[in-house]
Structure 1
Amino acid sequence: MEATTCNGSLDGSPVFYLVGIPSLPETFFLPVFFIFLLFYLLILMGNVLILVAVVGEPSLHKPMYFFLINLSTLDILFTTTTVPKMLSLFLLGDHFLSFPACLLQMYLFQSFTCSEAFILVVMAYDRYVAICRPLHYPVHMTPQTNAVLAACAWLTALLLPIPAAVKTSQMAYNNIARIYHCFCDHLALVQASCSDTMPQTLMGFCIAMVVSFLPLLLVLLSYAHILASVLRISSREGRSKAFSTCSSHLLVVGTYYSSIAVAYVAYRADLPLDFHIMGNVAYAILTPILNPLIYTLRNKDVKAAITKITCLKTQS
């Protein structure tokens, strides 16, 4: 799809120049590259380890861990959409992205962001059924139901960003448009245009509300019911056991929405552009790197499965 240039002609697709972090001196590019590379490798190793552990351990073939597989897959795809280009930017000075590549990166980043929010909602629903309706859990959370819930989360997330991507592709840009970011974020792409940015900014805000506040509301609603059910349990041991099954998911939800809050505050507050960029970068890296840590440190079953696999590999 071709984009109209600012002079109104159709001279071919524009090329986007990723500025990166504007005030960062080039002497710091290499240290930043190694930091991002380390984070990326930790994300890949941590999430692949969870995937291998859950798939390879029969005792983890349960709905909760099926959704955890989806979450780990999302974290790998989410970071792979943005981080390799950032590494190329800081190591090789590769600032340029073609028009289709930039739009694809923006679309995938938005899609995987939406998918993660919806998967967290599905995981909250799983915990709600397990604690509030334990006798109905095997009936409600069948493999077919789990597959449908996960598929709906993925499909909805793939469809939601399409209008924003289409509208952004129709905006006018200079032949070489400067994007003040480390990757093709929707807002940065809109601000790089010389068209009227108000409709696109409003659309982006509406999509952000749908994929942030609506899932958060559903998660909070699930945990309100869970809390009410747990408080009705008479024994302290029973309450503790019920809460322990939710602790990992609650920490992941807290991390996810905390990173969104950091990115939002960095954008809305009267802060330098660098803080806005770093807020988004932290959002793109923080959750995927913490999720494996949370589930390996807080979840005894996952920790035991990973230890078992590690010991088997060491012995072989």
Structure 2
Amino acid sequence: MEEILQMNYTDVTEFIILAFFELPEMQLLLFLVFLIIYVMSLTGNLLIIITVCSDSHLHSPMFFFLINLSFLEICYVTVTVPKLLAVLIAQNNSISFTQCIIQMYLFMVCTDTEAYLLTAMAYDRYIAICKPLHYTIIMNKKVCIILAIVSWMIGFLDVAPQVTLISQSFFCKSNEINHFFCDMTALMTLSCSGTTAIENINYIVGILLGSTSFLLIIISYVYIISTVLKLHSAKSRHKTFSTCSSHLTVVLLFYGTTVAVYLRPQSAYSMNLNKLLTVVYITVIPLFNPLIYSLRNKELKEILCKTIRRTIFLPEIIKCCTQHLVTAFQR
């Protein structure tokens, strides 16, 4: 039996991504929708990064973590959406075994890293509101860099065991992935070598790391809300809490979709529903995060608008300067 499994496993050198095969008449429309979302996500997050890096007024811990988050969102959509676009427009739905494992690993890294970055951002807001006099001392440059590095390192390390195990599984049932990217859940349904170990590791990692990060965020906001409520005027309470409203909105959006995708009861599980929820998880969040932060943060919104205007009018400015130079030389 083991020899048969091994033989079938070696035959699976590539997978077929079915994507939205159940909607054949909507392939072009879906391609245009995902293309627009992809371009807008890249543009929005790149603008955030460029704006924060180019303006010294935004060189604070909160915006440092926002740069990391924006870069992460770019990774999210770049890991998954380009291949989906190729499937939709060119029917190029094959992906090699190695590419599939790499895509799955990078996607899981992005998911885990975002949870830890959001935790670091919650800690930053806690220090800013609950310990404002010590904020610059506690949240210094070194601490911010360490928190960011630790978030990325944990993200890369804690998904390695599951990915290693799934990469060594025997895929003798089929090579067709009923998803729009190499999702671990979809791959596990194709495995015939047993997935108990992977499920146990996912459960342990989810409890120890996933729940811990969420619990730390909740604790941070318990202290934040407690401090805000102690302020005397309603205006002060609103102004203080507004500094973390963007982060709280992103946290609710991230964990809400995460729970919907990964923590639904098995009886309610449906691959088609899972694909729909994952679309929100992968494309909508990276699209909304720049909007949430830019619309809810007055300072960032003003500087972002200036950056956009400079970008739009830059060709005209260059043209005008060139004409003046030509005129001057002619004289």
Deviation at residue 272 of structure 1 after TM alignment:
4.1
Distance 2:263 2:112 in 1: 19
Deviation at residue 267 of structure 1 after TM alignment:
6.8
| 1:124 aligned residue | 122
Q: Counterpart amino acid of 2:181?
A: F
Deviation at residue 168 of structure 1 after TM alignment:
0.6
| 2:177 aligned residue | 179
Distance 1:99 1:119 in 2: 30
Residues 264, 5 of structure 1: alpha-carbon distance in 2 compared, 3 angstrom cutoff: farther
Q: Is the 8 A contact 2:173 2:192 kept in 1?
A: no
Residues 105, 292 of structure 1: alpha-carbon distance in 2 compared, 3 angstrom cutoff: same
| 1:23 aligned residue | 22
Distance 1:137 1:5 in 2: 62
| Residue correspondence of structure 1 range 262-301 to structure 2 within 5 A | 262-264=260-262, 268-270=266-268, 272-301=270-299
Residues 270, 237 of structure 1: alpha-carbon distance in 2 compared, 3 angstrom cutoff: closer
Q: Which moved more, 1:171-180 or 1:188-197?
A: 171-180
**Cα deviations across residues 92-117 of structure 1 (Å, max 9, x unaligned)?**
11111111100000100000101111
Distance 2:262 2:167 in 1: 24
Residues 218, 267 of structure 1: alpha-carbon distance in 2 compared, 3 angstrom cutoff: same
Determine helix, strand or coil for the equivalent of 1:97.
strand
Distance 1:6 1:173 in 2: 11
Distance 1:211 1:85 in 2: 30
| 2:61 aligned residue | 63
**Cα deviations across residues 2-45 of structure 1 (Å, max 9, x unaligned)?**
xx985323746621111213422x22111111111111111001
| 2:193 aligned residue | 195
Counterpart selection for 1:74 from 72, 85, 102: 72
Q: Counterpart amino acid of 1:276?
A: N
Q: Which moved more, 1:170-179 or 1:130-139?
A: 170-179
Q: Which runs of 4+ in 1 moved over 6 A?
A: none
Q: Between Structure 1 and Structure 2, which shows a larger proportion of helix residues? A: 2
Which residues of structure 1 form unaligned runs of 5+?
A: none
| Residue correspondence of structure 1 range 1-316 to structure 2 within 5 A | 7-9=5-7, 11=10, 14-24=13-23, 26-174=24-172, 177-264=175-262, 268-270=266-268, 272-313=270-311, 314=313, 316=317
Determine helix, strand or coil for the equivalent of 2:197.
helix
Q: Is the 8 A contact 1:29 1:90 kept in 2?
A: yes
Residues 254, 166 of structure 1: alpha-carbon distance in 2 compared, 3 angstrom cutoff: same
Deviation at residue 68 of structure 1 after TM alignment:
0.3
Distance 2:55 2:182 in 1: 38
Q: Is the 8 A contact 1:76 1:288 kept in 2?
A: yes
Distance 2:209 2:42 in 1: 25
Deviation at residue 178 of structure 1 after TM alignment:
1.5
Q: Is the 8 A contact 1:14 1:175 kept in 2?
A: no
Determine helix, strand or coil for the equivalent of 2:41.
helix
Residues 176, 192 of structure 1: alpha-carbon distance in 2 compared, 3 angstrom cutoff: closer
Distance 1:6 1:60 in 2: 60
Q: Please report the RMSD computed on the Cα atoms of aligned residues, expressed in angstroms.
A: 2.0
Residues 312, 15 of structure 1: alpha-carbon distance in 2 compared, 3 angstrom cutoff: closer
Residues 149, 227 of structure 1: alpha-carbon distance in 2 compared, 3 angstrom cutoff: same
Distance 1:176 1:271 in 2: 20
Residues 129, 68 of structure 1: alpha-carbon distance in 2 compared, 3 angstrom cutoff: same
Residues 185, 267 of structure 1: alpha-carbon distance in 2 compared, 3 angstrom cutoff: farther
Q: Is the 8 A contact 1:296 1:302 kept in 2?
A: yes
Distance 2:108 2:269 in 1: 24
Distance 2:279 2:205 in 1: 19
Identity %: 36
The TM-score normalised by the length of structure 2 is 0.89
Residues 104, 235 of structure 1: alpha-carbon distance in 2 compared, 3 angstrom cutoff: same
Q: How many residues align?
A: 312
Which residues of structure 2 form unaligned runs of 5+?
A: 318-331
